[in-house]
Amino acid sequence: MMYLKEIVKKNKVWIGIYIVVGIVLAFLTNLSANYYQQLIDHFTAGTLTFRFIIIYGSVLLLICIGNYLDEYPGRKLENGIYLDLKVQALKKVSCIDYQTYQSLGTGELLQKIESGSGAGKRILFDFYFEMARKLLPSIGFSMLFIWRLNTSIAYAVLAGYILVFVITNILLRSLYHLKEKILNNEEQMTHFLTRGFMEMVTFRLHRKFKAEIAHANHAKTQIVDSKIKMSLIHEAFFTLFALLVTLIKIGIILYAWFTKSLTIGAVIALITLVDHAYTPIAIFNVLFVQYKLDQSAFKRYTHFLDAKEDKQLQIGEPLQSLQGAFNICQIDFAYSKQMIFKNLSLAIQAGEKIAFVGGSGSGKSTLVKLLIGLLKPTCGEIQIDGQALGKICLEDYYKQILYIPQESPIFDGTLRENLIFDKQIADEEIVAVLKHVCLEEWFTKLSHGLETKLGERGITLSGGERQRLALARIWFQDSKVIILDEATSAMDNLTEEHVMKAVLEVAAPCTVITIAHRLNAIKDFDRILAFHMGTVVGEGHFNELLADNDYFKELYHVGSLEE
Ligand SMILES: Nc1ncnc2c1ncn2[C@@H]1O[C@H](COP(=O)(O)OP(=O)(O)OP(=O)(O)O)[C@@H](O)[C@H]1O
């Protein structure tokens, strides 16, 4: 509820207006029923006046105007709340803890956000606001007018309310179970859709789509069956409810007929008022059932909003001007139970060009993620320019470093966005940089130039083009530390050599940390660290390691054979 309270606080003025307008409208609607009774009675008694018709007409006119004016705050709040909840999800992603983020599935999460935002909007807008502005005032005002006309009928209407509540609560029990089933299956459905879309090539070549469609069909059947059952239960309630209202109306007519205590106007007004008193109850019941069911969808969404955050992104010691010296002091790190580093220590000088090499799974990418603060050591400390990395404000740190990840270095956006993000840089300057990364010719073929859309994960580019584009960012960012995780692995040898030369030139004053599998690419690096199962098993310049280190020699020869 904390998240909904925040939204209420943000929109308090409009919510206030919306509720007040609703209450006034509920009063006027019931008042009009009352005037209608008097109008009929005056009419039959021959005492109707022009003044009375004007007053009655004015009330009806005010209702029309009020209903129209009500639309503005109504639509503003309805759409605003739903979209605010979606924005909250993006805000959450911006500060979520990296390991928690890794444990989330895209498809299921998207469905959770979609269902949760809709549920949150309905909880506030369709339930709480409707209750405050329409249902409670309507019930209150109609009961008041019924009471004034006849107290016995008012008691009968109240007894009906109690009966309706009892039935609703019985129905809710079976509906909960169905709703949970629908939500689970809807999340599964989006999961199958998202993964089918993202893994199209793998699934097609492994002929997995048949099984995938069968899974999706199973989820579909479950959703459809559960939704039919839910509708049937809802409809059964409505039928019972319509019967109850009909019985009360017949009861009023019989009562008036036997007792002769009511005028024609009063009978008509009572029948209208019973509708005014019971329609909100019928609506309330639908909304209450929906509210209870929405709570389960909203809880699944708030579970994501409550996920662990990386507090260090905003809070921490300020980091002034970065020099780029790292000191890794006796760190331990494990992924759940898999120990990756035990008591690892090493130092990197400011301005040093250092490469991490080693077999697959030896921990190179994990170390890099520890150095950029995405992962946190379970023990020990990483220092940057003598300051504990675990205590500094990461936003300050990220302003001064550049990291090019192994997976998907290009995001869904234009070429310009992918190169300079939100900076303002002249086109000529951007195009000039493309020459350094051997993309000049490729660029001239683009029909939309810098505004060319690159597709999800840069799907319209070759692997080597993606990597060269990502490396071009080095020219646009004033970084003191550049970290590259296999940033040239998809390039041919010639292009790799040319691009790396240009990168090392522009990054001459910076600390450069790179992970490389192709060892020829790091011949000119100041120092190479060879990793094996989370420990450093070799350290030195390329030629030294090739001469003295068996593990490095093996990596080199196997790599050369592969090439
Ligand atoms: N998010 C994760 N959760 C659990 N285990 C992980 C996770 N990421 C990596 N690992 C495991 O940690 C170990 C080290 O992985 P890491 O990616 O650091 O290796 P690497 O040396 O960079 O390998 P490669 O050269 O193949 O990229 C591997 O055994 C890997 O399976």
Q: Which of 364, 372, 374 has most ligand 1 atoms within 8 Å of its beta carbon, as the pocket-test mutant?
A: 364
Which pLDDT belongs to residue 5? Answer: 92
Across 8-28, average pLDDT: 93
Q: Could you tell me the distance, in angstroms and rounded to a whole number, from the CA of residue 364 to the centre of ligand 1? A: 8
- Identify residue 200 by its one-letter amino acid code: M
DSSP state of 317: B
Q: Could you tell me the distance, in angstroms and rounded to a whole number, from the CA of residue 367 to the centre of ligand 1? A: 10
Q: How confident is the model at residue 163 (pLDDT cuts 50, 70, 90)?
A: confident
> How many domains are contained in the chain?
2
Which pLDDT belongs to residue 563? Answer: 58
For 399, the token pair is 């302003």
Which pLDDT belongs to residue 493? Answer: 84
55 is in which domain, residue-wise? 2-309
Which pLDDT belongs to residue 202? Answer: 76
- Which of 309, 342, 364 terminates a domain? The answer is 309
Q: Could you tell me the distance, in angstroms and rounded to a whole number, from the CA of residue 514 to the centre of ligand 1? A: 16
Q: Could you tell me the distance, in angstroms and rounded to a whole number, from the CA of residue 370 to the centre of ligand 1? A: 12
Output the domain CATH number for residue 262: 1.20.1560.10
Q: Which of 100, 337, 340 has most ligand 1 atoms within 8 Å of its beta carbon, as the pocket-test mutant?
A: 340
Of the listed ranges 29-33, 138-142, 174-178, 458-462, the one predicted with least confidence: 174-178
Cα 120 to Cα 294: distance, rounded to the nearest angstrom: 7
Going by alpha carbons, the residue nearest to atom 9 of ligand 1 is 366
Same domain, 247 and 385: no
Atom of ligand 1 nearest to the CA of 366: 18
Same domain, 305 and 336: no
Q: Sign of the C-alpha dihedral, residues 416, 418, 424, 429?
A: negative
Same domain, 498 and 386: yes
Going by alpha carbons, the residue nearest to atom 6 of ligand 1 is 335
Query: Which region, left, alpha or beta, applies to residue 527 given φ > 0 means left and ψ of -120 to 50 means alpha?
Result: beta
Output the domain CATH number for residue 492: 3.40.50.300
Collapsed DSSP state (helix, strand, coil) of residue 82:
helix
Instruction: Report the chain's terminal Cα–Cα distance, integer Å.
Output: 58
Going by alpha carbons, the residue nearest to atom 7 of ligand 1 is 335
Q: How confident is the model at residue 234 (pLDDT cuts 50, 70, 90)?
A: confident
pLDDT at 561 over 70: no
Q: Is residue 321 part of a domain?
A: no
Q: Is residue 244 part of a domain?
A: yes
Q: Where are the alpha helices (DSSP H) in 125-208?
A: 130, 136-149, 151-198, 200-205
Q: Are 49 and 163 in contact (CB under 8 A)?
A: no
Reported as a single tens digit per residue, the pLDDT across 477-535 is: 889 999 999 988 888 888 888 899 999 999 999 999 999 888 888 888 999 999 999 99
Q: How confident is the model at residue 142 (pLDDT cuts 50, 70, 90)?
A: confident
Q: Is residue 531 part of a domain?
A: yes
Reported as a single tens digit per residue, the pLDDT across 176-225 is: 788 888 888 888 888 898 888 888 877 888 788 898 999 999 989 988 88
Same domain, 46 and 95: yes
Which pLDDT belongs to residue 308? Answer: 94
Which pLDDT belongs to residue 288? Answer: 81
Q: Could you tell me the distance, in angstroms and rounded to a whole number, from the CA of residue 109 to the centre of ligand 1? A: 24
Q: Could you tell me the distance, in angstroms and rounded to a whole number, from the CA of residue 188 to the centre of ligand 1? A: 27
Same domain, 278 and 360: no
**pLDDT above 90 coverage of the chain, percent:** 49
For 195, the token pair is 């993964």
Q: Could you tell me the distance, in angstroms and rounded to a whole number, from the CA of residue 317 to the centre of ligand 1? A: 30
Across 329-341, average pLDDT: 93
Which pLDDT belongs to residue 354? Answer: 96
Q: Which of 362, 370, 378, 489 has most ligand 1 atoms within 8 Å of its beta carbon, as the pocket-test mutant?
A: 362
For residue 340, which phi and psi values (nearest 5 degrees)?
-105, -50
- Which of 249, 275, 309 terminates a domain? The answer is 309
Q: How confident is the model at residue 286 (pLDDT cuts 50, 70, 90)?
A: confident
Which pLDDT belongs to residue 477? Answer: 87
* Ligand 1 environment, Cβ below 6 A: 102, 335, 338, 340, 358, 360-366
Collapsed DSSP state (helix, strand, coil) of residue 465:
helix
Q: How confident is the model at residue 146 (pLDDT cuts 50, 70, 90)?
A: confident
Atom of ligand 1 nearest to the CA of 406: 27
Q: Could you tell me the distance, in angstroms and rounded to a whole number, from the CA of residue 112 to the centre of ligand 1? A: 28
Same domain, 460 and 530: yes
Cα 146 to Cα 149: distance, rounded to the nearest angstrom: 5
- Which of 281, 309, 337 terminates a domain? The answer is 309
pLDDT at 427 over 80: yes
Same domain, 71 and 115: yes
Burial class (CB in 10 A: 0-12, 13-18, 19+), 450: middle
Which pLDDT belongs to residue 342? Answer: 94
Q: Is residue 302 part of a domain?
A: yes
Q: Which of 338, 375, 404 has most ligand 1 atoms within 8 Å of its beta carbon, as the pocket-test mutant?
A: 338
For 378, the token pair is 């379970």
Average predicted confidence (pLDDT) for the chain? 89
Which pLDDT belongs to residue 232? Answer: 81
pLDDT at 475 over 80: yes
Going by alpha carbons, the residue nearest to atom 26 of ligand 1 is 360
Which pLDDT belongs to residue 225? Answer: 87
Which pLDDT belongs to residue 277? Answer: 73
Going by alpha carbons, the residue nearest to atom 11 of ligand 1 is 361
Q: Could you tell me the distance, in angstroms and rounded to a whole number, from the CA of residue 458 to the centre of ligand 1? A: 24
Cα 480 to Cα 319: distance, rounded to the nearest angstrom: 12
Atom of ligand 1 nearest to the CA of 486: 27
Across 118-130, average pLDDT: 93
Same domain, 237 and 352: no
Q: Could you tell me the distance, in angstroms and rounded to a whole number, from the CA of residue 338 to the centre of ligand 1? A: 10
Which pLDDT belongs to residue 526? Answer: 94
Going by alpha carbons, the residue nearest to atom 19 of ligand 1 is 361
Q: Is residue 319 part of a domain?
A: no
Which pLDDT belongs to residue 326? Answer: 96
Which pLDDT belongs to residue 518? Answer: 85
Cα 351 to Cα 348: distance, rounded to the nearest angstrom: 9
Which pLDDT belongs to residue 138? Answer: 83
Q: Is residue 316 part of a domain?
A: no
Same domain, 348 and 275: no
pLDDT at 366 over 90: yes
Which pLDDT belongs to residue 173? Answer: 74
Q: How confident is the model at residue 560 (pLDDT cuts 50, 70, 90)?
A: low
For 175, the token pair is 């509906």
Burial class (CB in 10 A: 0-12, 13-18, 19+), 416: middle
DSSP state of 362: S
Collapsed DSSP state (helix, strand, coil) of residue 60:
helix
Q: Is residue 215 part of a domain?
A: yes
Which pLDDT belongs to residue 148? Answer: 86
Across 535-556, average pLDDT: 91
Going by alpha carbons, the residue nearest to atom 10 of ligand 1 is 335
Q: Are 377 and 389 in contact (CB under 8 A)?
A: no
Which pLDDT belongs to residue 80? Answer: 94
pLDDT: which is higher, 458 or 452: 452
Which pLDDT belongs to residue 496? Answer: 87
Same domain, 304 and 330: no
For residue 257, which phi and psi values (nearest 5 degrees)?
-70, -45
Same domain, 348 and 489: yes
Q: Is residue 320 part of a domain?
A: no
- Identify residue 454 by its one-letter amino acid code: L
Q: Could you tell me the distance, in angstroms and rounded to a whole number, from the CA of residue 327 to the centre of ligand 1? A: 22
Same domain, 292 and 341: no
Q: Could you tell me the distance, in angstroms and rounded to a whole number, from the CA of residue 412 to the centre of ligand 1? A: 25
pLDDT at 369 over 90: yes
Which pLDDT belongs to residue 378? Answer: 93
